[in-house]
Amino acid sequence: MEFSQLFEMQKQLDRYIEETQNIQHDVFDEKGLALLVELGELANETRCFKFWSTKGPSERSVILEEFVDSIHFMLSLGYMRDFKLDEWPVVMEKADLTKCFINATQTVLTFLQHQTEENYKDIWTQYSLIAYNLGFTVEDIIEAYKLKNEKNYERQRNGY
């Protein structure tokens, strides 16, 4: 599966949710806030900023699932503004995760305030940097996205 196909998968999921939940208004801002919340949840699972704690990060599978929760909203925001990426932006640079999360948060906020394609692509670049520093490959992300996409359909069918 090509990375670009994830946009279509997300569009179909979003349509399903909008129909089953009877969404009649633009939910761009809600998705933007959801992305910020998911980014925070991802940071929380890595525990990279918790200097006061000796407890380590969550299991890799938990962190990866949190990562792809963000991907769902990033895809949604992109197609809502007719922005699309054909491939995952590759950034292979060792970086401090705490700084990565701060930079990613700022990048998301910049995009929400100035919805340009360049600002949208910057979010993906920041997430690519986070993925690299968490040890996730594009294949890991696509596979986890597909699994979470199915789980999201199941949740909708079961009244999540």
- For 26-77, the pLDDT digits (tens) are 999 999 999 999 999 999 999 999 999 999 999 999 999 999 999 999 999 9
Q: Which residue has the higher pLDDT, 131 or 3?
A: 131
Supply the mean pLDDT for the chain: 96
- The total of other beta-carbon atoms located within 10 Å of residue 84's CB is 14
pLDDT(160) > 80? no
| pTM reported for the whole predicted model | 0.94
DSSP string, 5-58: HHHHHHHHHHHHHHHHTT--S--HHHHHHHHHHHHHHHHHHHTTT-TT----PP
Amino acid at 116: T
What is the mean pLDDT of the segment spanning 86-108? 97
Q: 159 is written with which tokens?
A: 């009244």
Q: 120 is written with which tokens?
A: 């949208």
pLDDT of residue 4: 86
Amino acid at 145: Y
pLDDT of residue 1: 60
